[in-house]
Amino acid sequence: MFEGKVAVVTGASRGIGKAVAQRLAAQKATVIINYQRNAELAQALVCEIEEQGGKAEAYKCDVSDEQQCQDFLAAVVKKYGRIDILVNNAGVTRDGLLMRMPEEDFDKVININLKGTFHTMRLVSRQMLKQRYGRIVNMASVVGVCGNAGQANYAASKAGVIGLTKSAAKELASRGITVNAVAPGFIETDMTDVLSEKVKETAVSQIPLGVFGKTQQVAAAAIFLASDDAAYITGQVLHVDGGMVM
Protein backbone atom coordinates (compact mmCIF):
# COMPACT_ATOMS: atom_id res chain seq x y z
CA MET A 1 0.00 0.00 0.00
CA PHE A 2 2.83 2.42 0.86
CA GLU A 3 5.59 1.16 -1.42
CA GLY A 4 7.88 4.02 -2.42
CA LYS A 5 6.49 6.30 0.30
CA VAL A 6 8.59 7.90 3.04
CA ALA A 7 6.86 8.16 6.41
CA VAL A 8 8.00 10.09 9.48
CA VAL A 9 6.58 8.95 12.82
CA THR A 10 7.41 11.03 15.88
CA GLY A 11 7.65 9.40 19.30
CA ALA A 12 7.91 6.04 17.56
CA SER A 13 10.18 4.06 19.88
CA ARG A 14 7.29 2.57 21.86
CA GLY A 15 3.53 2.45 22.36
CA ILE A 16 1.20 3.78 19.68
CA GLY A 17 4.05 5.29 17.65
CA LYS A 18 5.82 1.93 17.51
CA ALA A 19 2.63 0.20 16.37
CA VAL A 20 2.15 2.80 13.62
CA ALA A 21 5.76 2.40 12.45
CA GLN A 22 5.43 -1.38 12.37
CA ARG A 23 2.28 -1.24 10.25
CA LEU A 24 3.72 1.30 7.82
CA ALA A 25 6.86 -0.79 7.38
CA ALA A 26 4.82 -3.96 6.89
CA GLN A 27 3.07 -2.20 4.02
CA LYS A 28 6.35 -1.25 2.34
CA ALA A 29 6.86 2.34 3.50
CA THR A 30 10.32 3.58 4.39
CA VAL A 31 9.79 4.54 8.03
CA ILE A 32 11.70 7.27 9.84
CA ILE A 33 11.51 6.53 13.55
CA ASN A 34 11.84 9.67 15.64
CA TYR A 35 12.80 9.42 19.30
CA GLN A 36 14.04 11.80 21.99
CA ARG A 37 15.47 9.60 24.78
CA ASN A 38 14.88 5.93 23.98
CA ALA A 39 17.73 5.32 21.52
CA GLU A 40 17.99 1.61 22.34
CA LEU A 41 14.27 1.02 21.84
CA ALA A 42 14.29 3.00 18.59
CA GLN A 43 17.25 1.06 17.21
CA ALA A 44 15.69 -2.23 18.31
CA LEU A 45 12.59 -1.31 16.30
CA VAL A 46 14.73 -0.50 13.26
CA CYS A 47 16.37 -3.92 13.54
CA GLU A 48 13.01 -5.64 13.94
CA ILE A 49 11.63 -3.94 10.83
CA GLU A 50 14.74 -4.72 8.78
CA GLU A 51 14.71 -8.37 9.88
CA GLN A 52 11.21 -8.60 8.48
CA GLY A 53 12.30 -7.15 5.14
CA GLY A 54 11.25 -3.56 5.77
CA LYS A 55 13.10 -0.26 5.63
CA ALA A 56 13.56 1.98 8.65
CA GLU A 57 15.95 4.48 10.17
CA ALA A 58 16.03 6.14 13.59
CA TYR A 59 16.58 9.87 14.17
CA LYS A 60 16.91 11.64 17.49
CA CYS A 61 14.97 14.89 17.78
CA ASP A 62 13.17 16.83 20.52
CA VAL A 63 10.10 18.01 18.62
CA SER A 64 9.61 20.92 21.03
CA ASP A 65 12.88 22.40 19.71
CA GLU A 66 12.35 24.15 16.36
CA GLN A 67 16.00 23.97 15.28
CA GLN A 68 16.23 20.26 16.05
CA CYS A 69 13.06 19.68 14.01
CA GLN A 70 14.45 21.69 11.12
CA ASP A 71 17.75 19.76 11.12
CA PHE A 72 15.99 16.40 11.49
CA LEU A 73 13.49 16.88 8.68
CA ALA A 74 16.02 18.51 6.37
CA ALA A 75 18.23 15.44 6.82
CA VAL A 76 15.34 13.16 5.87
CA VAL A 77 14.55 15.15 2.73
CA LYS A 78 18.23 15.31 1.76
CA LYS A 79 18.58 11.53 2.02
CA TYR A 80 15.24 10.36 0.66
CA GLY A 81 14.13 13.29 -1.49
CA ARG A 82 10.61 13.44 -0.09
CA ILE A 83 8.29 13.02 2.88
CA ASP A 84 4.91 11.56 2.02
CA ILE A 85 3.45 10.81 5.44
CA LEU A 86 3.82 12.51 8.81
CA VAL A 87 2.36 10.92 11.93
CA ASN A 88 2.65 13.22 14.94
CA ASN A 89 2.63 10.90 17.92
CA ALA A 90 5.25 12.35 20.30
CA GLY A 91 3.62 13.28 23.58
CA VAL A 92 4.00 13.47 27.36
CA THR A 93 1.80 13.80 30.43
CA ARG A 94 2.39 15.74 33.62
CA ASP A 95 -0.87 15.18 35.47
CA GLY A 96 -2.08 17.22 38.43
CA LEU A 97 -4.94 19.36 39.63
CA LEU A 98 -5.14 22.74 37.94
CA MET A 99 -4.82 24.78 41.16
CA ARG A 100 -1.61 22.92 42.10
CA MET A 101 -0.06 22.53 38.67
CA PRO A 102 3.45 24.02 38.35
CA GLU A 103 3.87 26.26 35.34
CA GLU A 104 6.75 24.11 34.11
CA ASP A 105 4.45 21.07 33.95
CA PHE A 106 1.94 23.01 31.87
CA ASP A 107 4.66 24.34 29.56
CA LYS A 108 6.32 20.93 29.13
CA VAL A 109 3.12 19.28 27.92
CA ILE A 110 2.12 22.16 25.64
CA ASN A 111 5.62 22.44 24.16
CA ILE A 112 5.88 18.77 23.20
CA ASN A 113 2.28 17.80 22.46
CA LEU A 114 1.08 20.95 20.71
CA LYS A 115 4.08 23.05 19.75
CA GLY A 116 5.98 19.96 18.63
CA THR A 117 3.09 19.08 16.33
CA PHE A 118 3.13 22.64 14.99
CA HIS A 119 6.89 22.51 14.31
CA THR A 120 6.80 19.27 12.32
CA MET A 121 3.63 20.15 10.42
CA ARG A 122 4.94 23.57 9.42
CA LEU A 123 8.25 22.19 8.18
CA VAL A 124 6.92 19.04 6.50
CA SER A 125 4.08 20.91 4.78
CA ARG A 126 6.65 22.91 2.79
CA GLN A 127 8.00 19.72 1.25
CA MET A 128 4.54 18.30 0.72
CA LEU A 129 3.47 21.49 -1.07
CA LYS A 130 6.33 21.01 -3.53
CA GLN A 131 5.23 17.41 -4.06
CA ARG A 132 1.55 18.41 -4.27
CA TYR A 133 0.91 15.35 -2.11
CA GLY A 134 0.95 14.50 1.56
CA ARG A 135 -0.77 12.77 4.45
CA ILE A 136 -0.56 14.25 7.94
CA VAL A 137 -2.06 12.35 10.88
CA ASN A 138 -1.97 13.93 14.33
CA MET A 139 -2.49 12.02 17.55
CA ALA A 140 -5.11 13.82 19.63
CA SER A 141 -7.10 12.31 22.53
CA VAL A 142 -10.63 11.96 23.81
CA VAL A 143 -9.66 14.29 26.66
CA GLY A 144 -9.04 16.98 24.07
CA VAL A 145 -12.74 16.72 23.28
CA CYS A 146 -14.34 16.12 26.67
CA GLY A 147 -11.63 17.18 29.18
CA ASN A 148 -10.46 15.20 32.19
CA ALA A 149 -9.94 16.15 35.82
CA GLY A 150 -6.26 16.28 36.67
CA GLN A 151 -5.21 16.70 33.04
CA ALA A 152 -5.85 20.36 32.26
CA ASN A 153 -2.50 20.70 30.51
CA TYR A 154 -2.85 17.47 28.50
CA ALA A 155 -6.46 18.22 27.55
CA ALA A 156 -5.51 21.74 26.45
CA SER A 157 -2.65 20.41 24.33
CA LYS A 158 -4.82 17.83 22.60
CA ALA A 159 -7.70 20.26 22.05
CA GLY A 160 -5.10 22.49 20.44
CA VAL A 161 -3.97 19.64 18.21
CA ILE A 162 -7.54 19.21 17.00
CA GLY A 163 -7.86 22.91 16.18
CA LEU A 164 -4.48 22.86 14.46
CA THR A 165 -5.52 19.83 12.44
CA LYS A 166 -8.72 21.42 11.17
CA SER A 167 -7.04 24.73 10.31
CA ALA A 168 -4.15 23.08 8.45
CA ALA A 169 -6.58 20.84 6.58
CA LYS A 170 -8.29 23.92 5.15
CA GLU A 171 -4.99 25.55 4.22
CA LEU A 172 -3.42 22.53 2.52
CA ALA A 173 -6.33 20.75 0.84
CA SER A 174 -5.95 22.47 -2.52
CA ARG A 175 -2.44 21.00 -2.87
CA GLY A 176 -3.41 17.38 -2.40
CA ILE A 177 -2.48 17.26 1.30
CA THR A 178 -4.89 15.81 3.84
CA VAL A 179 -4.66 16.50 7.56
CA ASN A 180 -6.59 14.41 10.05
CA ALA A 181 -6.41 13.38 13.70
CA VAL A 182 -6.92 10.20 15.68
CA ALA A 183 -8.35 10.58 19.19
CA PRO A 184 -7.55 7.51 21.29
CA GLY A 185 -9.35 6.77 24.52
CA PHE A 186 -7.80 4.57 27.20
CA ILE A 187 -5.19 2.44 25.44
CA GLU A 188 -2.87 -0.17 26.94
CA THR A 189 0.47 1.70 26.92
CA ASP A 190 3.23 2.69 29.33
CA MET A 191 1.14 5.75 30.21
CA THR A 192 -1.83 3.69 31.37
CA ASP A 193 0.27 0.92 32.95
CA VAL A 194 1.22 3.27 35.79
CA LEU A 195 -2.42 3.93 36.72
CA SER A 196 -3.70 2.33 39.91
CA GLU A 197 -6.19 -0.52 39.66
CA LYS A 198 -8.87 1.74 41.13
CA VAL A 199 -8.30 4.36 38.44
CA LYS A 200 -8.34 1.67 35.75
CA GLU A 201 -11.62 0.26 37.05
CA THR A 202 -13.17 3.71 37.04
CA ALA A 203 -11.95 4.31 33.49
CA VAL A 204 -13.31 0.99 32.23
CA SER A 205 -16.71 1.80 33.75
CA GLN A 206 -16.86 4.84 31.43
CA ILE A 207 -16.14 2.82 28.28
CA PRO A 208 -19.23 1.29 26.63
CA LEU A 209 -17.16 -1.58 25.19
CA GLY A 210 -15.84 -2.25 28.70
CA VAL A 211 -12.12 -2.67 27.95
CA PHE A 212 -9.00 -0.63 27.24
CA GLY A 213 -7.98 -0.45 23.59
CA LYS A 214 -4.83 -1.85 21.98
CA THR A 215 -2.07 0.15 20.33
CA GLN A 216 -2.59 -1.77 17.09
CA GLN A 217 -6.21 -0.63 16.97
CA VAL A 218 -5.12 3.00 17.12
CA ALA A 219 -2.39 2.32 14.56
CA ALA A 220 -4.94 0.84 12.17
CA ALA A 221 -6.92 4.09 12.26
CA ALA A 222 -3.80 6.15 11.63
CA ILE A 223 -2.74 3.91 8.75
CA PHE A 224 -6.15 4.25 7.13
CA LEU A 225 -5.99 8.06 7.29
CA ALA A 226 -2.46 7.96 5.84
CA SER A 227 -3.56 5.79 2.92
CA ASP A 228 -4.98 6.73 -0.45
CA ASP A 229 -8.21 5.04 0.62
CA ALA A 230 -8.72 8.15 2.76
CA ALA A 231 -7.86 10.62 -0.02
CA TYR A 232 -11.29 12.28 0.27
CA ILE A 233 -11.13 12.66 4.06
CA THR A 234 -9.55 15.73 5.65
CA GLY A 235 -10.02 17.86 8.75
CA GLN A 236 -11.59 14.96 10.64
CA VAL A 237 -11.08 13.45 14.09
CA LEU A 238 -11.41 9.67 14.20
CA HIS A 239 -12.20 8.45 17.71
CA VAL A 240 -10.72 5.13 18.80
CA ASP A 241 -12.16 5.04 22.30
CA GLY A 242 -14.53 2.12 22.75
CA GLY A 243 -17.48 4.51 22.58
CA MET A 244 -16.43 6.98 25.31
CA VAL A 245 -17.30 9.99 23.14
CA MET A 246 -20.49 9.60 21.14
Mean pLDDT of the chain: 96
Residue 191 near residue 15 (C-beta atoms within 8 A): yes
Question: What average pLDDT does the segment 88-116 reach?
Answer: 97
φ, ψ of residue 150 in degrees (nearest 5) = 85, 5
What does the buried/exposed string (b/e) look like for 85-113 if buried means 16 or more CB atoms within 10 Å of the residue's CB? bbbbbbbbbbbeeeeebeeebbebbbbbb
**Known catalytic residue at 154:** yes
Q: Say which of 35, 133, 154, 232 is annotated catalytic.
A: 154
Burial of 195 (0-12, 13-18, 19+ CB in 10 A): middle
Reply yes or no on whether the pLDDT at 82 is more than 90: yes
What pLDDT, on the 0 to 100 scale, is given for residue 190?
79
What pLDDT, on the 0 to 100 scale, is given for residue 189?
87
Q: Is 62 helix (H, G, I), strand (E, B) or coil?
A: coil
Reply yes or no on whether the pLDDT at 191 is more than 90: no
Question: What average pLDDT does the segment 194-213 reach?
Answer: 89
* Residue 12 to residue 32: CA distance in whole angstroms: 9
* Residue 119 to residue 68: CA distance in whole angstroms: 10
Each residue of 7-44: pLDDT tens digit?
999 999 999 999 999 999 999 999 999 999 999 999 99
Q: How confident is the model at residue 136 (pLDDT cuts 50, 70, 90)?
A: very high
Full-model pTM? 0.96
What pLDDT, on the 0 to 100 scale, is given for residue 198?
84
* Residue 229 to residue 183: CA distance in whole angstroms: 19
Which residues on neighbouring strands pair with residue 33, listed in sequence order? Answer: 9, 58
